[in-house]
Amino acid sequence: MKKWFITGASSGLGREFCQQLLQRGDSVVATLRKAGPLDDLHQRYGDRLQVLYMDVTDSEAVRAAVAQAFAGEARIDVVVSNAGYGLFGAAEELTDAQISRQLATNLTGSIQLIRAVLPFLRRQGGGRIVQISSEGGQIAYPNFSLYHASKWGIEGFIEAVAQEVSAFGIDFMLAEPGPTGTQFAHGLDQAPPLAAYQATASGEMRRALASGAFTIKGDATRTVSTTIAFCDMAHPPLRLPLGSTAWHHIRDALHQRLEALIPLEETAAGADADAE
């Protein structure tokens, strides 16, 4: 039996993680911003579900919740950094407040959670951190520029930190779902459209989302069950694409970047200093 710490557990993938893990006999410490969403699971599974309240944008609250989860001799095997949401709109359409909140939640919130759990994982001799990222941590859609900034940012952060803490038995996995059937789209923070963008890729994306033409192939239950299965492995990959859309989009993006990079080898070398 494993013990998990999961943020953003009130709905979507976070709640699905709680449900599947409790059903298979594991214990979960779940964090929410307000009471209520997990009452039914608490009634069903009792003490195997511990609910804590915090907002990931409040770093002091994050540290306090983490300390409470690890209190005494408690060991946590897997930390799932799941809290987050999407901000939708062309970069010019977004307000300063929207940008600050997106980065504070998806990027800084995830960073501070990881920083908070590292001392505890180090002291207990290791553990695993699963960051719920997105295919959007390696590719980009119009109208999601700040969401992508948060996901590309947290992926870069984790690539570095994974090297720093591997000697302590701490490892990471980046779960990268493609468009998935959760409440993500309904929870989008949408900026008011500017008329100037109606005939652009931004306008096309806005219309596709509003009409339902934007394809969503991913299944939330399978996304979570696959992630859990890989978490159970001794040595999972750093990045786990989830859904055929994610796999194809990431593959195509990596091929395009490599094709653009290879012809620039000589040019790049031309910026080196002369050998002494």
List the catalytic residues.
10, 133, 147, 151
Residue 242 forms beta bridges with which residues? 177
Q: What does the block give as tokens for 118?
A: 């590292």
Give the three-state DSSP class for 58.
coil
CA–CA distance, 69 with 28 (Å, rounded to integer) = 10
**Where do the DSSP E strands lie in 16-134?**
27-32, 49-53, 78-81, 87-88, 127-132
Residue type for position 69: A
Among 65, 77, 80, CA closest to 13: 80
Q: Which residues contact 86 (CB under 8 A, 6 or more apart)?
A: 144, 147, 184, 185, 187, 188, 189
Residue with tokens 């999961």: 6
- Per-residue three-class SS string for 207-251: HHHHHCCCCCCECHHHHHHHHHHHHCCCCCCCEEEECHHHHHHHH
Among 43, 40, 41, 62, CA closest to 52: 62
